[in-house]
Structure 1
């Protein structure tokens, strides 16, 4: 690294550490003339760093906000703080933030020095976001799969199915998503020759390979994952027409419960899965919205049974009050 490059990096570090520096202060810190400082400032500007200059009392040089975030220089402790903060954010359960934090963490983890990475891991082991609940997912698994998806390389996962059977799966990772405080991998299963959704907390091991894959045309990933978790995972499935606009119903149907599609401006179709139709009927009663059963017809009888049970309970309560 040349002296000019080294000095420019040192100058950038100084500008990041304080809001305003005068030319003479920077020259003294760098051991050069103010003219050299001005030249180095111009180099940083050419690289995309918005270095601002102001005259008069209290003026000087400062690093401003640009249209894009340029590369940052972080000291060891600063890098630890950023990485730990991203790991906490990735498990926060805040919609959208967790996946953005994971992408940022994947980018920064690659360039962390071994000593910093070890310190981040040690700190992360004793920290948790209590509101999010335990996810059962280790950081190495999360980062391995996110990095494999980003780089387009195959992965091998030691996966345990719901019935307890374990097997090695060869997958082409595309997305790592957080849904209802659980992490999932959306991937092409090389052995099944189909798209699959895997829960990360059921993985005993995940490792990336060096085999690159040609990216396939994917379905709508978020819709596919939501469908597989709320409907496809169950043997019993049902579809009803909710007589309310989609935007009104959506807040009441979590991703793990069912899928919604608009059916005109004043209605939407709800697809829902469960272990039995009685649970579906009970959940529809909880929604307390007008519906029409599309499929299966047996769901009508289950809804009627809940209605009869509720009506009988109300009559008994009224009779006891009048006695």
Structure 2
């Protein structure tokens, strides 16, 4: 009996970490026959878990939402992570976040072993959400988006851009990022054939397609960096551009995500737009241009004069 219980719990853990498993693969991982696997699936169903089974080459087993919430199987690290997430979620702009997350946390921590409660208290005592409260978003929508990211499932939704333009999008999800007081959804936009960020509070009429895809490489170190670049380029207070003596492909390879907006300006030349909240901030962008590459500042004579004067001061400072 103990061996059977342990195996059923292992089966539950596998079903919770992957969208769908084929029968042969589950049986192989559990080291049982497919007949034994079917019996273990029936035991999970008796415990309240809704396990869907489909036939055919693309079939398999998947854990579906049921009529009631069954017990969850968590490792110690997963339990600590969940408790910390609940504590931080109250300040991240979730609809009814303070009420629902704190009540859920109270129930969750009540059953945590003392050692795990101490870990949670120690960690959250030194954690501060980097994002202030912004526009409220639906926790249900965040959950749906997170699952779509996990399962690499293509989705559709309605979107209202900052200027009020409405559109229906079909995207391949990548990540969710909290930044600048908002939740952002990073995805490959199939209509635009490019990576895009979407404010979650501006999304509606979401539904999944059950069409899966191969994840693409994000043109940044991680999703947080990609959002930082995208958000910073939405409405800079000041703008300028440089034309550098560097082919566009070479420039994009060197700049990565920061090459957003760059276009070919001629044979072996690239025009790169950038912006910032001040001339001093914009000056830092010029440091990205590789050493030995000539460039000219265009579209902002005021910034060009500022950069020239700053360069002269730095040159004087370097003279001993």
The TM-score, its normalising length taken from structure 2, stands at: 0.43
The TM-score, its normalising length taken from structure 1, stands at: 0.42
**Which one has the largest radius of gyration?**
1
